[in-house]
Structure 1
Amino acid sequence: MNRKRQDITIVGGGMVGMAQAALLAVRHPQLQLSVLEAATEAPQVPDEHYDARVVALTQASRDLLEEAGAWGEIGLRACPYTEMRVWDAEGTGSVCFNSRDVQLPNLGHIVENGVVAAALRARLEALPNVELVSGFRLESWWRDCGHWHLQPRSGRTDMPEGLEERAEVVRTRLLIGADGARSKVRDLLRIRCQDTDYHQTALVCVVRCAKPHRHTAWQRFLKTGPLAFLPLAGLGDDNHCAVVWSADEELARELVMLDDAAFALSLEKAFESALGKVEFVGDRLSFPLRARHAESYFGPGAVLVGDAAHNIHPLAGQGVNLGLQDVRVLSDEIGRALKRGLELADPSVLARYQRRRRGDNAITLKAMSTFKSLFGAGDLHWRWLRNTGLSMVDASPMLKKRIILRAMAV
């Protein structure tokens, strides 16, 4: 049995895991890193249609991706948005945020998940100190002499040619779990989570609207959940938007059963035809919504980032941004450890990372749950409160500026 020694091994080849590897590899070329991913195929970016799942990248996230060397490819298909319009379906309250409020060219970028993943994958393949291992499905693990040992399943038909014969055990000084909401790394560390079931389902798709999106992100708060239209970079026009409709379970079941024409009509009605007639494009995807927060972000020789540590309601589009800030802070702490001559997995290093991230993430999770409850309340008192609040924010340039700058820093 072969043994491969690495300084840092990242389990999970999603956006956050690959960003973590790229940033560490660029900052510390002396380190040897592995990225272990279950997928057997590299992400592809189709030229002729859109990926239905998108992320709203903040300036802080863009800065990180630029430092990691991946933004060049991402920027070619990222749609900058200069304005965000939010309004309540049950009242007159509304607020408009504009990049002019903070003297910046935009508020962020809407980009397809597949575009980000493909750019990060290409970047990792070009870095000499990173090894990508696809089709890696963890069979067993153990820890001794300050190292984790990870063994893949062998003899499987879904593994890349040759890997089943090698059955390499990865030996690593630091294990980073970036393997999503159902994290195996979190399970092996026996870290518990605080879970909240929102009893909602997110439906995502791409639509073509009769009117151009004007580089504006739109969000309407319905009693049954928020509906967002997010501008996409043109494949020939500025009329395509990514839709994220977070709906209560009963409504979501009804929407899933509709044919394309009926679903498009429901979207148009729920959105008050703000962009005119809606034409459904591509596939519809759906997934249940839960909030989840790990009680600890680290264990012996291992640490969690991204969805492995926290899940959030998508109404503010901050999930990936929070994960990328985990990446930045963990990279900072690893750099600090190297300068001080500390072991990468020293508990003090991982505890500093947790102190810097867990509190901020907890505040954001609580804020999103509060927003969800506030805009889901139907009685007159709560409707008056939220409509008054939206109008007050819209009338205050100072408040709008503070909210924008806070959101862009995530």
Structure 2
Amino acid sequence: MNRQRMDVTIVGGGMVGTAQAALLAVRHPHLRISLLEASDMDPVVKPDAYDARVVALTEASRELLEEVGAWQLIAGKRECPYTQMRVWDADGTGSVYFDCRDVKLPNLGHIVENNVVLQALRERIEALPNVELVTGFKLESWWRDCGLWHLQSRLHDRSDDDGLGEESPVLTTRLLIGADGARSRVRDLLRIRTRDVEYKQTALVCVARCEQSHESTAWQRFLSTGPLAFLPLAGLGDDNHCAVVWSADDELARELMMLDDKAFALYLEKAFESRLGGIESVSERFSFALRARHAEAYYGPGAALIGDAAHSIHPLAGQGVNLGLMDVRVLTEEIDRALSRDIAPSHASVLARYQRRRRGENAATLKAMSTFKSLFGAGDLHWRWLRNTGLSMVDASPLLKKRIIMRAMSI
């Protein structure tokens, strides 16, 4: 493949960027597509241990992975369909219980390790002749002329003493897609500003082995210091492992990260009210700061933003990757429409339609998550009463629960 002249170039080889490359390649075999990833490390799926970073895939996201052939590499191996969800407030009696039988579906979604999804997508990319994955590509210079983007990087070479490697050839592309995360270089080069909200919270993630079965249930307890979720894992021979996602106030998160494993397991068990018995062991913990970030525009001349490059969200509802995959779906649909009408995918009208379909939807979700975070973090009696009453009202309304489930699953 001639790597220097492309129809579409995607910067960022994470789940969202790789899914974008795969979906475009499957639907349009004539397009020349490049996928540029700064890291030169392949995703590693440990054969005897779970990874702490997971995604709660909606049905819409699963269908997209199935269309590109990645789900077939995941199903029945390292994915856990969850059939129930239990949510309760630490400061009161309010709770809500969701069951897939309420909507006559086999499950509410699937919990899958990030690296499992990415490895499957990478495997599909390698099998598609019209896509080229370039790893170790760190975008250093760019310019635009004659309606084309010109990109250049220094390809990393471990054999070099300085580790810098040789300059790559100039890569020219008609359409540039930024999928390069919350600190997007593509967004910066387009000079698109963002609106940021500092949550003053840190997400702490790990894997916990519990005394009792997770019962194929996603569990979430709202504490005054932030939500704590236990997400079921499967694939290694038992149903006692859960991915833990604890979004805690910064000060508490620092204290939790300093505890040894035994002390942390005891603290975690208490915070979770021993719903799954004792915490028998915990894996290595990882943490990252939380903030909401929303780009003021999703496109510029011949370029579009998807995933975290366009929007970052609080993880309390597990919607981050799913929103990004919906961006992938919609941008692909607009490119489909353009090509059927002999319009260039990089045309401003195509990218404007993508923005109209996604930015408002994502803004509403970001606002809802910020509202939930504020509501469940409020400590005074009035707000505690309001949220506990609200949870109980939702739990008592089959119709409302059905609507919430269908909305969350993007059905």
Determine if the TM-score, normalized by the shorter chain, exceeds 0.5. yes
In the alignment, what sits opposite 2:350?
349
Distance 2:101 2:273 in 1: 26
Deviations 1:158-180 (A, max 9, x none): 89xxx955721110000000000
On the 8 A contact 2:157/2:166 being kept in 1, the answer is no
- After TM superposition, list the pairs within 5 Å mapping 1:103-118 onto structure 2: 103-118=104-119
State the aligned residue count: 407
Which residue of structure 2 lines up, in the alignment, with residue 309 of structure 1? 310
Partner of 1:129: 130
Query: What is the letter of the counterpart of residue 98 of structure 1?
Result: D
2:239 equivalent in structure 1? 238
Contact 1:135 1:158 in 2 (8 A): no
Q: Is the 8 A contact 1:3 1:169 kept in 2?
A: no
Tell me which amino acid in the other structure corresponds to 2:49.
Answer: H
Deviations 1:208-239 (A, max 9, x none): 00000000000000000000000001411000
Identity %: 75
Aligned to 2:69: 69
Please say if 1:216 is aligned against 2:213.
no
> Structure 1 length normalisation: TM-score?
0.97
Instruction: Give, in angstroms, the shift of residue 77 of structure 1.
Output: 1.0
**Residue 326 of structure 2 is aligned to residue 325 of structure 1:** yes
Q: Deviations over 1:99-133 (max 9, x none)?
A: 00100000000000010010000110010000000
- 1:96 aligns with 97
Q: Which runs of 5+ in 1 are unaligned?
A: none
Contact 2:153 2:167 in 1 (8 A): no
Matched, 1:82 2:83: yes
Distance in 2 separating the partners of 1:8 and 1:49: 37
Aligned partner of residue 350 in structure 2, secondary structure? helix
Q: Show the 5 A alignment for 1:8-87.
A: 8-75=8-75, 76-87=77-88
The corresponding residue for 1:338 is: 339
> Which residue pairs with 2:376 in the alignment?
375
Offset of 1:3 from its aligned partner? 7.0
Which letter does structure 2 place at the counterpart of 1:372?
A: K
Q: How far apart in 2 are the matches of 1:61 and 1:203?
A: 24
Q: Distance in 1 between matches of 2:296 and 2:410?
A: 24
- Name the SS for the 1:254 alignment partner: helix
Runs ≥4 in structure 1, deviation > 3 angstroms?
Answer: 154-159, 163-166
Structure 2: gaps (5+ residues): none
- AA paired with 1:85? R
Contact 1:209-1:240 at 8 Å conserved across structures: yes
SS where residue 392 of structure 1 aligns? helix
TM-score when normalising by structure 2? 0.97
Counterpart Cα distance in 2 of 1:157 and 1:36:
18
- Spell out, residue by residue over 1:351-374, the C-alpha distance to the aligned partner (whole angstroms, 9 max, x if none): 000000000000000000000000
Give the Cα–Cα distance (whole angstroms) in 2 for the partners of residues 279 and 375 of structure 1. Answer: 29
SS at the partner of 1:139? strand
Question: How far off its partner does 1:45 sit?
Answer: 0.9
For residues 147 and 292 of structure 1, the distance between their equivalents in structure 2, rounded to whole angstroms, comes to 28
- CA–CA distance in 2 between the matches of 1:21 and 1:234? 28
Q: State the Cα distance separating 1:279 from its structure 2 match.
A: 2.3
**Residue type of the partner of 1:81?**
Y
More displaced 10-residue stretch of structure 1: 138-147 or 84-93:
138-147
Q: Distance in 1 between matches of 2:143 and 2:386?
A: 54
**CA drift at 1:41:** 1.8
- Pairwise mapping of residues 241-256 of structure 1 onto structure 2 (< 5 A)? 241-256=242-257
More displaced stretch, 374-383 vs 163-172: 163-172
**For 2:135 and 2:159, how far apart are their aligned partners in 1?**
10
Query: Does the 8 A contact of 2:207 with 2:242 survive in 1?
Result: yes
Structure 1 match to 2:389 = 388
Amino acid at match of 2:200: H
Q: 2: CA distance between counterparts of 1:280 and 1:38?
A: 34
Q: CA deviation at 1:46?
A: 1.0
1:157: Cα distance to partner? Answer: 4.1
- In the other structure, the counterpart of 1:365 is 366
Call closer, same or farther: CA 1:165–1:373 in 2, change over 3 Å: closer
Is the contact between residue 137 and residue 156 of structure 2 (CA under 8 Å) also seen in structure 1? no
String of CA shifts for 1:366-408, please: whole Å, max 9, x gaps.
Answer: 0000000000001111000000000000000000000000000
Work out whether residues 57 and 111 of structure 1, in 8 Å CA contact, stay in contact via their aligned partners in 2: yes
Paired residue type of 1:351: A
Find the aligned partners of 1:100 and 1:232 in 2 and give their Cα distance.
21
- Given residue 95 of structure 1, which amino acid in structure 2 is its aligned partner? V
Cα gap change, 1:158/1:254 in structure 2, threshold over 3 Å: closer, same or farther? farther
Alignment of 1:175-190 (within 5 A): 175-190=176-191
Deviation of 1:316 (Å): 0.1
**What is the SS of the residue equivalent to 2:4?**
strand
| 8 A Cα contact 1:219 1:229, kept in partner | yes
Task: Say if 1:228 and 1:190 are closer, same or farther in 2 by CA, change over 3 A.
Answer: same
Q: Does 1:6 align with 2:16?
A: no
In the TM superposition, residue 282 of structure 1 has moved relative to its aligned partner by 2.3
Give the letter aligned to residue 392 of structure 2.
Answer: S
- For residues 120-160 of structure 1, the C-alpha deviation after alignment (integer angstroms, 9 at most, x for no partner) is 0011001000000010011100001110000112675489x
Closer/same/farther in 2, CA of residues 345 and 211 from structure 1, 3 Å limit = same
Structure 2 CA distance for aligned equivalents of residues 55 and 333 of structure 1: 26
* Aligned equivalents of 1:51, 1:311: Cα separation in 2: 22
Point out the more displaced range, 149-158 or 291-300.
149-158
